[in-house]
Structure 1
Amino acid sequence: MLPGIYLIDAIGPFFRGCEGRRINWSKIHFTRLATSGPEREEQWKGIREDLRTFTREVAAAGFTAVTLDDLAHLAAHPLHDEETAARIAVLREEFAVLFEIVRGAGLDLYLTSDVLPVSPGVEAAIGEDREKLECYYRELVGGMLADFPQITGIVLRIGESDGVDVKDPLRTRLHVRDAKETNRLLHDLLPIFEKHGRTLILRTWTVGAHRIGDLIWHRRTLADALKGIDSPAFILSMKYGESDFFRYLPLNRAFFRTPHRKIVELQARREYEGAGEYPSFIGWDCEQYARELQGDANLAGISVWCQTGGWHRFRRLAFLEEDGRDFWLRLNTRVALRIFRYHESVEDAVAHVVGAEKAPAVLELLRHSETVVKELHYIGEFASQKLFFRRVRIPPLLHVYWDCLFINHAVRKVLRHFVTDPERALREGEAAYALFPRMIELARTADLPVADIEHWRDFCHLVRLARRYYFLPFEPELAERIRASKKAYKKAWPSDRRQRYRIKINFEPFKVKRQTLGWLSSLLLRRQRGYRLIDHVFTLNLLGLIFRLIRPGKSKAVPKFLRKSAMGVDALFR
């Protein structure tokens, strides 16, 4: 057993009964938390009960700490308007009880914070004065650490803020724009943490906005941001790859380029791979990353996201489902922990979780599920390519995103441009789909959720039909089969009975010629991390200006999920 920080997010209890067709899982929905009347007592009683269950489960599994959201809604400040201040006062009362539950379970407590939160009162008093805003934020942090000794530290996120769908009057916005400002922020905050004996954890995750948008992969940006940072109160937290939580990403070499203590971030509830609706197993990836990180990475621990992430309709709550519907989430979470903390192999970790008798069948099922994810959900040739646009690495999965499968001519043209061996892609997809009968048989043998595999099979039938549409000559009969299969899928898995994918079909021609697409891709995309001359002149500067002038991110010609989810496509061009 290795000492260290074994961190897991604990926001699941706040999503019990969350309504809406699609849910923002990036942070607690503070606007739906009751602050008065009988509803307050009923809701918070349920949250407390769920948090006791959750903390008991994860502590028994071997986790040592949890994260809760968030500084903005719990830190009092005299500049807040009266309504905001009143809500914060109630939330502080309720969260103080939750903090004691966490500490009572023997777990350390970390609070998340986006840089920088503002309320209507703060905006009215300070406006855009950056120096005053940073002073205000330091006061928030210092006051919170002084008021709540239960807090072990704060996890800062500087590269992403509240999504465009968040209607909370207390909102966060991107404040730090480059490495120099990041470095100054750290130098200003660390003395506060050192004074209080707490820990500041900086996440390198960004969505590509501003010059700091390449922090997750650009070695010079990272080095400049951490220049002169030498404090026992500081830890760096990084996702395992150079993009979001996708497959086909090699370990980020930034783990070996700085001397600071580091945490590797993992995602058990795979936001782009069903969010726990089926076995999207991460064990073998974790084993590979753990093996590589045994070098000079100066690893301080891991952070496992078991609930946080994504905009989708999938609703399973990790460690809180009484009927075992969270099995795949529990399995991913516990196996990841056992690999990193106890240095177990995947086989030993799975056997520890499910028992030695079931382990052979479960492991065979998981090996098949790994094949289905990597060879049917993803298109291996495309996913293996290293592509960058402006300050972000292009996701290796385009046609399945959150809870949507896109079957349209635009996706078809893009994939046909980048995939040079469509026959291989078709063969791999068909072979992977053929594994489902055996997987269902194994699920029955091991007494696992068979319905989850059946749902996945029916969805993957649409995925393989989509692949045929992408790579075979277009035939009206295939289009009709896709439409009929979508109708059958919706009938078999009605959204009012269980959550399912949305199938977005559009066979209308995408009016961009193949030659034009090739020219645009060579202009806008690059296969190297470093910026080309054309990037400095056009892609990073002029293109951003053009985008801000014409504002296509507001146009209905841009898919709604790009406009209305996360920070919107506009963030890419800041």
Structure 2
Amino acid sequence: MRIRSLPGQMPPRLLLIDAIGPFFRGYEKRRINWSKIPFTHLATEGEARQRQWDRIRDDLRQFAGEVSAIGYNAVTLDDLAHLAPHPLHEEDIARRIEAFREEFSRIFPILDEFGLKIYLTSDIIPLTPAIEAEMGGDHRKLEDYFLGLVSDLLDDFPLIAGIILRIGESDGVDVKDPIHTRLHLTSAAETNRLLRRMVPLFEEKERDLILRTWTVGAHRIGDLIWHRKTLAETLKGIDSPRFIVSMKHGESDFFRYLPLNRAFFRTPHPKIIELQARREYEGAGEYPSFIGWDCEKFARELEGAENVVGMSVWCQTGGWHRFRRLPFLKNAGDDTWIRLNTFVALRVFRDRQPVEEAVRDFVGEDRAVATLELLRCADTVVHDLIYIEDFARQKLFFRRVRIPPLLHMYWDCLFINHAVRKIMRHFVRDPERALRAGEAACDLFPQMIELAEEARLPVRDIRHWRDICHIIRLARRYYFLPYDPEIAQQIKAAKAAYKVAWPRTEGARYRIKTSFEPLKVKRQTLAWLSGLLLRRKRGYRMIDHIFTLNLLGLVYRIFRPRKKEAMPKFLRKSAMGVETLLR
């Protein structure tokens, strides 16, 4: 029997998907920053340039053919700064920009050939050492410089349909490119002022300006993603069909257990929802982290939102990790699970098609029953074992950010140590239930392997997931059972076995960070610190205005650890670093 489609608004007109994967070919860093094209990896002269860019064009043609056939009608590419020349640019930088402009001018027509609009990303604000030295901290000069880059670029490349602004995050601390972005806008008023200058420019040139509300919590603008007053002040007085607001589905990054961001219902502006098919915190395509039912739930809720004009799906972008699967490219790893998410997300949001029908269309009638049962089991494993539900459902805020619902796993790292144990034991109110849920989820793997075989889906991926989930189950026992040295030995043995079973030479694997040294922080101290630094409501408390939002940053800068070893490497070397959170 055919299931009726979801009721809904008019179909969305903007169906964006990221297209940066081809630029990562041959990028052999052990742990990759997937947040932006690695421009320093791209050749700009000689035979190396010709070989690399020939491959990029072939990959993009393959990608464009496949995603346009699914139904996507626009792509995102990085980025304005590497295509926009300026008289102050250093000689070497100017040469590289000219080479990138030549190569992208060959790329854009390929995407246009497949009916894909091109949206270029840009952080606020990109600088080089020479430009920074010339302009210093003069906001007006910097914004005039940026507006000039935008205007000239739109004139030079008529196939660019619009620019996507990211104002709340800049290049990670690991980015060594001489063209480097830094956070420029610090308040809603500053952001509103810049937008009021930019929108008429885009109206004049008949292009779209898309503003992402994503931030990492820095400065007063850092709560833009969830704070209604900050959002309202940022968008005040802006009314244009050429201006679109882009929001992640939750009030934090791409995690589960987060309700739909209420900002979708608070602004009349045209808006799009951001989704992630290559789940950066859930294996990045190494196992079936299915988003179909989440998409269906969001689509139903968005029926009550005004002016939702599209969606933006990330299938290749996001995270700092070793996982390397890139969908829609030949010989880039099995991309089944990412493709599935990408396909189902579009069917649900564009066609209001029920998940079961979309999955059936993806795999075929003969494989649908086994596939759907596998995905239901996988969904249970993600919700009950990857996450700890009791913690994930708690609404916690630190300064201007909502605490992620997943702390013990981050990107490609599983943390098993006494600090995580203490934190989990403090926040999880029903540890017995957490243990039972994790054990039950782990017991699903024999059935999942059988279902994968029956559905002709990647069985090897399920076996890999089973082995890492066995360690996650042991970690949960360590977190919540009375301490027993035997559990520590079991974790060490399982970690060693995992490394043997899944060597790096045969694909990406998780990094398991273990330490069983006691944390010299008493339970009462931890409770006091959490009460001081964390809150359970969005609104700021008096202590936040006095200490957490202001004095804490100063205290950190004065007393921050002087030795590198005092802070985990992933906090020092990934994303923008922990210091950014305290600005």
TM-score by length of 2: 0.97
Secondary structure of the equivalent of 2:52? helix
Q: What is the CA distance between 1:529 and its match in structure 2?
A: 0.3
| 2:559 corresponds to 1:550 | yes
User: How far apart are the structure 2 equivalents of 1:303 and 1:323?
Assistant: 22
Deviation readout 1:103-125 (Å, 9 max, x if unpaired): 11111000000000001221222
User: How far apart are the structure 2 equivalents of 1:72 and 1:312?
Assistant: 25
The aligned residue for residue 133 of structure 2 is 124
Deviation readout 1:370-397 (Å, 9 max, x if unpaired): 0000000000000000000000000000
User: How far apart are the structure 2 equivalents of 1:430 and 1:555?
Assistant: 37
User: How far apart are the structure 2 equivalents of 1:79 and 1:300?
Assistant: 39
For the structure 1 residues 73 and 324, does the alpha-carbon distance in structure 2 shift closer, same or farther, using more than 3 Å as the test? closer
The aligned residue for residue 257 of structure 2 is 248
| 2:578 corresponds to 1:572 | no
The aligned residue for residue 6 of structure 2 is none
The aligned residue for residue 388 of structure 1 is 397
The aligned residue for residue 462 of structure 1 is 471
Deviation readout 1:382-441 (Å, 9 max, x if unpaired): 000000000000000001110000000000000000011110000000000000000000
For the structure 1 residues 395 and 553, does the alpha-carbon distance in structure 2 shift closer, same or farther, using more than 3 Å as the test? farther
Q: What is the CA distance between 1:320 and its match in structure 2?
A: 1.0
Find 1:194's aligned residue among 181, 188, 203. 203
The aligned residue for residue 69 of structure 1 is 78
The aligned residue for residue 97 of structure 2 is 88
User: How far apart are the structure 1 equivalents of 2:185 and 2:399?
Assistant: 18
User: How far apart are the structure 2 equivalents of 1:108 and 1:547?
Assistant: 45
Is contact 2:162–2:208 with CA below 8 Å preserved after alignment?
Answer: yes
The amino acid that maps onto 1:277 is E
Q: What is the CA distance between 1:68 and its match in structure 2?
A: 0.3
Is contact 1:405–1:502 with CA below 8 Å preserved after alignment?
Answer: yes
Q: What is the CA distance between 1:17 and its match in structure 2?
A: 1.7
Find 1:425's aligned residue among 422, 431, 434. 434
Is contact 1:376–1:428 with CA below 8 Å preserved after alignment?
Answer: yes
Secondary structure of the equivalent of 2:482? coil
For the structure 1 residues 553 and 136, does the alpha-carbon distance in structure 2 shift closer, same or farther, using more than 3 Å as the test? farther
The aligned residue for residue 400 of structure 1 is 409
**Once superposed, which parts of structure 1, at least 4 consecutive aligned residues long, lie more than 2 Å away?**
321-324, 548-556
User: How far apart are the structure 2 equivalents of 1:296 and 1:402?
Assistant: 32
The aligned residue for residue 46 of structure 2 is 37
Q: What is the CA distance between 1:554 and its match in structure 2?
A: 6.8
Find 1:262's aligned residue among 265, 271, 274. 271
The aligned residue for residue 67 of structure 2 is 58
User: How far apart are the structure 1 equivalents of 2:15 and 2:170?
Assistant: 25
User: How far apart are the structure 2 equivalents of 1:258 and 1:66?
Assistant: 25
User: How far apart are the structure 2 equivalents of 1:478 and 1:3?
Assistant: 51
User: How far apart are the structure 2 equivalents of 1:31 and 1:554?
Assistant: 29
User: How far apart are the structure 1 equivalents of 2:288 and 2:107?
Assistant: 31
User: How far apart are the structure 2 equivalents of 1:97 and 1:382?
Assistant: 49
Deviation readout 1:207-242 (Å, 9 max, x if unpaired): 000000000000000000001001111000000000
Is contact 1:553–1:569 with CA below 8 Å preserved after alignment?
Answer: no
Q: What is the CA distance between 1:369 and its match in structure 2?
A: 0.2
User: How far apart are the structure 2 equivalents of 1:411 and 1:291?
Assistant: 36
The amino acid that maps onto 1:188 is R
State the superposition RMSD in angstroms: 1.0
The aligned residue for residue 525 of structure 1 is 534
The aligned residue for residue 150 of structure 1 is 159
User: How far apart are the structure 1 equivalents of 2:182 and 2:508?
Assistant: 31
The amino acid that maps onto 2:208 is T
Deviation readout 1:529-552 (Å, 9 max, x if unpaired): 000000000100111111122334
Find 2:548's aligned residue among 533, 539, 542. 539
Find 1:510's aligned residue among 477, 496, 519. 519
Deviation readout 1:454-488 (Å, 9 max, x if unpaired): 00000000000000000001111111110000000
Find 1:342's aligned residue among 348, 351, 356. 351
Secondary structure of the equivalent of 2:565? coil
Deviation readout 1:317-352 (Å, 9 max, x if unpaired): 111144870000100001000000011000011011
User: How far apart are the structure 1 equivalents of 2:380 and 2:275?
Assistant: 20
For the structure 1 residues 321 and 434, does the alpha-carbon distance in structure 2 shift closer, same or farther, using more than 3 Å as the test? farther
User: How far apart are the structure 1 equivalents of 2:563 and 2:351?
Assistant: 49
User: How far apart are the structure 1 equivalents of 2:209 and 2:80?
Assistant: 13
List gaps (5 residues or longer) in structure 2: 1-9
Is contact 1:553–1:563 with CA below 8 Å preserved after alignment?
Answer: no
The aligned residue for residue 443 of structure 2 is 434
For the structure 1 residues 323 and 134, does the alpha-carbon distance in structure 2 shift closer, same or farther, using more than 3 Å as the test? closer
Q: What is the CA distance between 1:3 and its match in structure 2?
A: 4.5
Is contact 1:553–1:568 with CA below 8 Å preserved after alignment?
Answer: no
| 2:314 corresponds to 1:300 | no
For the structure 1 residues 224 and 21, does the alpha-carbon distance in structure 2 shift closer, same or farther, using more than 3 Å as the test? same
Find 1:106's aligned residue among 115, 126, 129. 115
Is contact 2:324–2:332 with CA below 8 Å preserved after alignment?
Answer: no
Q: What is the CA distance between 1:192 and its match in structure 2?
A: 1.1
User: How far apart are the structure 2 equivalents of 1:224 and 1:357?
Assistant: 53
Is contact 2:285–2:335 with CA below 8 Å preserved after alignment?
Answer: yes
For the structure 1 residues 553 and 40, does the alpha-carbon distance in structure 2 shift closer, same or farther, using more than 3 Å as the test? farther
Greater shift, 288-297 or 24-33, is seen at 288-297
Is contact 1:407–1:504 with CA below 8 Å preserved after alignment?
Answer: yes
Deviation readout 1:238-261 (Å, 9 max, x if unpaired): 000000000000000000101100
Secondary structure of the equivalent of 2:121? strand
Deviation readout 1:73-108 (Å, 9 max, x if unpaired): 001111211111111000000001111111111110
The aligned residue for residue 388 of structure 2 is 379
| 2:342 corresponds to 1:330 | no
Find 2:321's aligned residue among 312, 329, 340. 312
Secondary structure of the equivalent of 1:154? strand
User: How far apart are the structure 1 equivalents of 2:34 and 2:55?
Assistant: 19
User: How far apart are the structure 2 equivalents of 1:176 and 1:318?
Assistant: 34
Secondary structure of the equivalent of 2:508? coil
Is contact 1:553–1:570 with CA below 8 Å preserved after alignment?
Answer: no
User: How far apart are the structure 1 equivalents of 2:539 and 2:328?
Assistant: 42
User: How far apart are the structure 2 equivalents of 1:321 and 1:280?
Assistant: 22
User: How far apart are the structure 2 equivalents of 1:3 and 1:235?
Assistant: 13
Secondary structure of the equivalent of 2:289? coil
User: How far apart are the structure 2 equivalents of 1:204 and 1:227?
Assistant: 14
User: How far apart are the structure 2 equivalents of 1:120 and 1:426?
Assistant: 53
Secondary structure of the equivalent of 1:294? helix
Secondary structure of the equivalent of 1:556? helix
User: How far apart are the structure 2 equivalents of 1:536 and 1:323?
Assistant: 49
| 2:309 corresponds to 1:281 | no
The amino acid that maps onto 1:248 is Y
| 2:243 corresponds to 1:234 | yes
Task: Trace 1:130-145 onto structure 2 (pairs within 5 A).
Answer: 130-145=139-154
Secondary structure of the equivalent of 1:293? helix
List gaps (5 residues or longer) in structure 1: none
Is contact 2:324–2:333 with CA below 8 Å preserved after alignment?
Answer: no
User: How far apart are the structure 2 equivalents of 1:2 and 1:324?
Assistant: 33
